[in-house]
Structure 1
Amino acid sequence: MEFSEHIKTANVENVVLRQPLHPPSRGTLCVTGHHLLFSEREEGSARQVLLLLRNIDATEKSVENLWGYSGPFSGRSERISGSSGTLTLKCKDLRVLQLDIPGMEQCLNIAHSIETLSCLDRVSETYPFFYRPPDLSLQEPWGLSSPEKYFNHTKELHGSWRLSSVNREYSVCPSYTTAVIVPKDVNDDMLVKVAKFRQGGRFPVLCYYHQKNGVVIMRSSQPLTGANRKRCREDELLLQAVIDTSDKGYIIDTRSSQQAQQARMTGGGFESKSCYNNWKRLHRQMERGKALQESLIKLVEACGDESHNMDRWLSKLENSKWLSHVQTALSTAGLLAECVERDGHSVLVHGSEGTDSTLLISTLAQLIMDPRCRTVEGFLALLEREWVQAGHPFQQRCAHSAYSHTRLQQESPVFLLLLDCVWQLWRQFPLALGFSETLLLRLATEAYASDYGTFLCNSDQERCLLEVKKKTHCLFQALLRPKEREIYSNPLYEHTELAIWPSVHPQSLQLWKGFFLRWTKQTRHLEEAQEEIRNMVIEWGRLVLS
């Protein structure tokens, strides 16, 4: 497909741009296959605004006939006549831009181009396949981590665990990587049978080894016991091999007991006590899917309410239930970390599909327990392992954000919820995490619209088929370049081997203003102050070292 087919009007003069934190400006608007480019034409100004079309969540247009005078720009008023149109662009990063475009036809043409090019169906037509920064090479190895690297790096695993290539052609589980870490006593034939017993083929695999006591975190999808209480002997043996001679392990099911019971009626289910007698099942209900998406929409609506009524604001914030989801995620992750760190027992985590809330709490638990995950590189490697490689369907979940008028069943801001929870940890433990809030904001933006291929597709298999690792650049590697790393590092970071246990009391949790209110003047002033403090700390550190 030629992008030019969808661009009836490529350039428009005398466009007025209104955007948060900036005065209105007049200039030239240009539409390309992947971007909107606005160039200010005021005397002495060469300012440009480049917006990735993929970042646009919704386009609203209005057209009117005009006769009169335009507003002053650089001290001038201009007589206008004819028709004009206004495009309101609501972005996935929560920016709201307004374009006043002279000429009704030009306005409608621009709107049509944006609506078409902002939601291209084919992944290979998106911008990451065209992006070629001068300081990155496609010849470099792609990514920071993999099951192979994790297994080889964790020598303690080699006695009782092995690296299996049973999924080398993605035939056993489409959403897993080609290599997985499993108990040494479980052969590949058994794994194939276990995969048939678990939804989507997501059989239990190791995601974390706790070096302090040698216990592990496993993750999977729900067992397909169904109404007839179907059993799988190989699945039972696999879980028994995980705990070996230990007295018991825990299964944390991210559904309520009632939801798990209801799942049996549609072929799903849970591990029964009689078949898994050394495992204790704990239910912790976590919302997902549509409920989480609606929560985000309500929160963003509340943040955009300009009535300045405190009671109304607090009511809307509470009704969105977003902070309740944050609290549930952190408390469930804390429970998982307690089972491993304090009780010394291995844990299997799953919900129904095992691609959303399962990954959320396993990631947070590792951040709580393991200092290696709290550096910039360690955190990015953790995200790659637990989200990108573990089969979180980014393409489906992040297709739209809070403004879109079209809703797809698969959309859900689970990854954004993770970043919010990490921000809560970062705020409660400002010295314990080696990265800054700026990194979290960058990741929140990139997950929805990116120049890089890291968050494309829904699984490792899809990335392989589309040659994402050969034809696009890796975001995580780009963030570790020296200049970037300095921006995203926490200058106050102090390494600690201790676990960081978050408080989940209501008074301990706050709205993530840096993201949800990032385009307001108050938040921008706070950011500027934080940046100044950061620069002072870095300069002080340099003086001490010299």
Structure 2
Amino acid sequence: LLIYELSVHSNEEMYRIYQTLNDYCNRENVSLLCALNYKPDFTFEEDGWHIFSLKREFADLLQRGECRISSVNVDYSICPSYPREILTLACISDDLLRESAQFRRDGRFPIITYYHPSKSTYIAVCAEALSVSRVGKTGLEASESSPGEFRSSAGLQTAAAAKCRVDEQLLAALLPASRRGTIIDLRVIQSKKKSSLGIEMDQFNPQWKRLSRPITEPSDIRSIFREFIQAYTRPVSLQQPGSKPPSAMSSLLQFTGGGGGGGSGGGEPTSGHADASPELGAETVEGSVAKVSLKRTTGWLSLLLEALTAAVAAAAALDGQDAAAQQQLQQEKLLCQTAEAATGTAGNGNAELQERLAGMQTQGACVLVLGQQGRDRTLLVSSLVQIILAPGVRTIRGFEALIYRDWLLAGHAFGETCRHSAFSMSLSQRDSPIFLLFLDCVWQIWCQYPSCFEFNEDFLIFLAKHAYVSEFGTFLGNSEQDRENLELASKTISLWSYVNRPEVLANFLNPLYSAPSAGTDGSSASTACWPCLAPQALVMRCAVVFVVGPGSAPPGQPDPGPVILRNSGWLAGQ
């Protein structure tokens, strides 16, 4: 990342230059974007716009008849941010989905994003339920009531009864018989009280258990990220009184997290505390000291911890590694022993009983990830759960499919959240580096399990850069509907068309990758990648490489002036 410092004669001239650059970086006219005017100088064998689809991604699941592809949103009338086709359980009708959308924020009803084959469980995502006072006659009214508007108690009771009935039916349909259900609530408590939005009616279904794993709101994530980038891109003086001016290449200042990237070694998930804020200690390089305290300046590592904590909780419930699954297993073993004792079986029966008890396994729970809007933090947690449990998404092609399913199709607003960089002064309310937070979480797991990922760090850096500025059209628009209206499939080149070329893929391959072995039943025999959540296990990928100042140019070359060249990893890659 190059940062140029320009010297101007007056403040007026400075503001004119800034405004001009800002206008060029924030064009409202989509036709002026470089992606719609890009002419590739390469050839590709497969079109990235058509290599992924829900039917291909969930072919095995659809063949078993447990789920189906619904076209309830074929005209985008139910939920504009959802795709035309969504994955849902076969037992859930389109009418129930329509009813549920009326009582969900922005119509984002529950959709399935991942099926866990080893436990026959799934994860679904949705937005929060609307409060009764916000449900209008059509059920889709989400705006505040106008001053003086009066709602009769009878009308509120009718709306409450309808909402309760829909929630009961939906939660019952989402949970197969004799299954446990876990609701991962990502909302911050303060935002619940402020918005007065509805609480899920899970208390009417004892099979569902709610876990509160709050993640900071997107607006606060934006502020934290901006402070984080500003802390590492402000000029750093490496010269002490009485010392010689450092040369350009010798002034190397590396910031890393304490403890490095040691993994937990696999097995069961390691718990962590979401309130912990790791600090970066002081590093001394050639007599220069720089102290950076993330606890005092930013909370970026705390955001990583929040996201990974929520993902581990969801993955543990999905895979039957949580406390509730262990308790259920102990109860089943006790019932089995009691029934065996009642029959009075002895001798060989005891051996058979012990063998039966040893073969009993925990049962996973179906997981519903609940967020405020359902298109940012919920997608973040759902994607991280798959990174933890599914070896297939740790390949390059699998990771591309994950971004296609859980981010592009699911309606993450890339056009709004990734519109401005952290250095921009014209940030909107929707600007938030949720996708960068996801990539950073993936990198944290990558550091702990480097042999489990087919791609290297450069691939994550590449995706982070193209999410903000790209000559390809993959990350343009806020939903599938936006991309169709812009005709991006015919007017732009897909990023995957470029990435999947053999000569490009070679740059993103991880030499340490060890492909998982296939079991006898065709399933993957590899273990899950449970991330260590200890604060010292999180790594800060941020390095101030060197500073080029006046007088540092080689003899005979023009002085470059106060140009600061920094390498802040892919966090500031935009």
Instruction: Say yes or no: TM over 0.5.
Output: yes
Taking the aligned partners of 1:386 and 1:280, their CA distance within structure 2 comes to 24
Task: Say which SS state the counterpart of residue 251 (structure 1) adopts.
Answer: strand
Question: Which 10-residue stretch deviates more, 344-353 or 469-478?
Answer: 469-478
1:281 aligns with 2:213: no
Q: Deviations over 1:432-455 (max 9, x none)?
A: 111100011111111111111111
Partner of 1:28: none
1:120 aligns with 2:15: no
The structure with the largest strand share of the pair is: 1
1:99 Cα deviation from its structure 2 partner: 5.5
**Is the contact between residue 389 and residue 460 of structure 1 (CA under 8 Å) also seen in structure 2?**
yes
The alpha-carbon distance between structure 1 residues 104 and 314, as it changes in their structure 2 partners (threshold 3 A), is closer
Partner of 2:121: 215
Taking the aligned partners of 1:301 and 1:168, their CA distance within structure 2 comes to 44
1:233 Cα deviation from its structure 2 partner: 2.7
Q: Deviations over 1:294-347 (max 9, x none)?
A: 111111122124145949733256430000000111111011110011240110
Question: Which 10-residue stretch deviates more, 221-230 or 102-111?
Answer: 102-111
AA partner of residue 469 (structure 2) = A
Taking the aligned partners of 1:235 and 1:124, their CA distance within structure 2 comes to 43
TM-score between both structures, scaled by the size of structure 2:
0.69
Partner of 2:536: 507
1:157 Cα deviation from its structure 2 partner: 6.0
The alpha-carbon distance between structure 1 residues 132 and 276, as it changes in their structure 2 partners (threshold 3 A), is farther
Taking the aligned partners of 2:191 and 2:84, their CA distance within structure 1 comes to 31
TM-score between both structures, scaled by the size of structure 1:
0.72
**Is the contact between residue 337 and residue 369 of structure 1 (CA under 8 Å) also seen in structure 2?**
yes
Taking the aligned partners of 1:501 and 1:139, their CA distance within structure 2 comes to 34
The alpha-carbon distance between structure 1 residues 199 and 484, as it changes in their structure 2 partners (threshold 3 A), is same
1:285 Cα deviation from its structure 2 partner: 1.0
Task: Point out where structure 2 has 5 or more consecutive residues left out of the alignment.
Answer: 134-155, 239-280, 283-288, 326-363, 517-525, 549-563, 570-574
Partner of 1:380: 400
1:253 aligns with 2:159: no
The alpha-carbon distance between structure 1 residues 523 and 492, as it changes in their structure 2 partners (threshold 3 A), is farther
Taking the aligned partners of 1:481 and 1:314, their CA distance within structure 2 comes to 41
Partner of 1:330: 308
Partner of 1:201: 107
The alpha-carbon distance between structure 1 residues 519 and 185, as it changes in their structure 2 partners (threshold 3 A), is farther
Taking the aligned partners of 1:495 and 1:519, their CA distance within structure 2 comes to 38
**Is the contact between residue 400 and residue 411 of structure 1 (CA under 8 Å) also seen in structure 2?**
yes
The alpha-carbon distance between structure 1 residues 526 and 175, as it changes in their structure 2 partners (threshold 3 A), is closer
AA partner of residue 174 (structure 2) = V
Taking the aligned partners of 1:235 and 1:517, their CA distance within structure 2 comes to 52
**Is the contact between residue 128 and residue 452 of structure 1 (CA under 8 Å) also seen in structure 2?**
yes
Question: Which 10-residue stretch deviates more, 117-126 or 308-317?
Answer: 308-317
Taking the aligned partners of 1:477 and 1:468, their CA distance within structure 2 comes to 14
Partner of 1:241: 173
Task: Point out where structure 1 has 5 or more consecutive residues left out of the alignment.
Answer: 1-93, 528-546
Taking the aligned partners of 2:17 and 2:194, their CA distance within structure 1 comes to 49
Which of 71, 78, 96 does residue 3 from structure 2 map onto? 96
AA partner of residue 433 (structure 1) = F
Partner of 2:67: 161
- Count how many residue pairs are aligned between Structure 1 and Structure 2: 428
Q: Deviations over 1:106-132 (max 9, x none)?
A: 999876653332211022321100112
The alpha-carbon distance between structure 1 residues 234 and 374, as it changes in their structure 2 partners (threshold 3 A), is same
The alpha-carbon distance between structure 1 residues 139 and 341, as it changes in their structure 2 partners (threshold 3 A), is closer
**Is the contact between residue 124 and residue 466 of structure 1 (CA under 8 Å) also seen in structure 2?**
no
AA partner of residue 116 (structure 1) = D
The alpha-carbon distance between structure 1 residues 508 and 318, as it changes in their structure 2 partners (threshold 3 A), is farther
1:447 aligns with 2:467: yes
The alpha-carbon distance between structure 1 residues 517 and 198, as it changes in their structure 2 partners (threshold 3 A), is farther
**Is the contact between residue 164 and residue 188 of structure 1 (CA under 8 Å) also seen in structure 2?**
yes
Give the 5 Å matches for 1:3-402: 95-98=2-5, 113-136=20-43, 140=47, 142-152=49-59, 154-155=60-61, 158-226=64-132, 231-257=163-189, 259-263=191-195, 265=196, 268-305=197-234, 306-307=236-237, 310=282, 313-316=291-294, 318-342=296-320, 343=325, 344-402=364-422
Task: Say which SS state the counterpart of residue 294 (structure 1) adopts.
Answer: helix
Partner of 1:29: none
> Which fold has the larger relative contact order, with Cα–Cα distance below 8 Å and residues 6 or more apart in sequence?
2
Task: Say which SS state the counterpart of residue 347 (structure 1) adopts.
Answer: strand
**Is the contact between residue 143 and residue 477 of structure 1 (CA under 8 Å) also seen in structure 2?**
no
**Is the contact between residue 99 and residue 166 of structure 2 (CA under 8 Å) also seen in structure 1?**
yes
Taking the aligned partners of 1:449 and 1:476, their CA distance within structure 2 comes to 15
AA partner of residue 459 (structure 1) = S
AA partner of residue 243 (structure 1) = L
**Is the contact between residue 126 and residue 370 of structure 2 (CA under 8 Å) also seen in structure 1?**
yes
Q: Percent identity?
A: 35
